[in-house]
Structure 1
Amino acid sequence: MHDTTHHALQRQRRQVIWGLTLIAFGVAYLLQRDDGDAVVRLWQYWPWVLVAFGVNNMLPPTDGRRFVDGLSQVLFGAWFWITIEGWWGLNFGNSWPLLIIVGGLGMVLQPLAHRYFPRHQEERS
């Protein structure tokens, strides 16, 4: 697959994800328009936008860097969701070291991912 085709597919998928996100928020606001508190509570779901974009980066066609970046976005969105919800007693103040772990994991996985996604590396050379 040519690099221009790869970028075109990525751009189209990004546009679809943004469109679906806007549709979902618009429908949610429309359904809750009489309840101001419900509209405010909808914003607690914004980490799922990060997860959606991360999954988009992980889907083929992709390369090693985009896959690891997508995985990092998914983990970052999950961290936000978990801390907003307060699961397992985690909050922003006591769980920030998890972000350091995600950063280190990304650095470790980057070279490994390039082994499993060599096709796009070779095309760029």
Structure 2
Amino acid sequence: MKHEQAYWRRTQLLWGVLLIVVGAVFLLDRLDIIYLRDYRQLWHYWPVIMVLFGINKLVAPVSAKQVLSGLWLIFFAAWWYVSYEELWNLSFYNSWPALLIAWGVGLVLEPLLNKHFMAYRESEHEQ
């Protein structure tokens, strides 16, 4: 239960900080302190939000599912950004197999991570 409360607090903190930053940017724009020419420019950076949530899941994870979920969010955000911006000549058309590879890596990592977390829980109970 202790781990779940810590995770819930981190999630609340992350959402709070995210809302504060977004609200501050819009407020500064409305007060003409900063000038956003086009709000669509901000849309290019939405994967950063997914990366933040992925990192949040990776900080002191309590299960293999949490680790894999965090890694998936970070990978998907990076893949989306690279494909959308067509970095390194990668587009949605030619980079989608990377999603299959990531899925496979997740399937391979899951039993290894489950074993790690079971060993950790057993050592925690011995103390």
Which residue number in structure 2 is paired with residue 93 of structure 1? 93
Distance change >3 Å, CA 120–CA 73, structure 1 → 2:
farther
Which residue number in structure 1 is paired with residue 46 of structure 2? 46
Which residue number in structure 2 is paired with residue 116 of structure 1? 116
Question: Which runs of 5 or more structure 1 residues have no equivalent in the other structure?
Answer: none
Counting matched residue pairs gives 119
CA RMSD of aligned residues (A): 2.1
What amino acid is aligned across from residue 13 of structure 1 in structure 2?
R
Give the superposition deviation at 1:121. Answer: 8.2
Verify the 8 A CA contact 2:61 2:67 in the aligned structure 1. no
Partner SS state of residue 113, structure 2: helix
Deviations 1:14-38 (A, max 9, x none): 111111222222233334445441x
Task: Please list, as runs of the form range in 1=range in 2, the aligned pairs for 1:65-84 lying within 5 A after superposition.
Answer: 65-84=65-84
Distance change >3 Å, CA 83–CA 112, structure 1 → 2:
same
Identity of aligned residues (%): 38
Question: Which runs of 5 or more structure 2 residues have no equivalent in the other structure?
Answer: none
Q: TM-score, normalised by structure 2?
A: 0.81
Max Rg structure: 2
Q: TM-score, normalised by structure 1?
A: 0.82
Verify the 8 A CA contact 1:69 1:106 in the aligned structure 2. no
Verify the 8 A CA contact 1:48 1:77 in the aligned structure 2. yes
Partner SS state of residue 56, structure 1: helix
Partner SS state of residue 70, structure 1: helix
Distance 1:59 1:120 in 2: 17
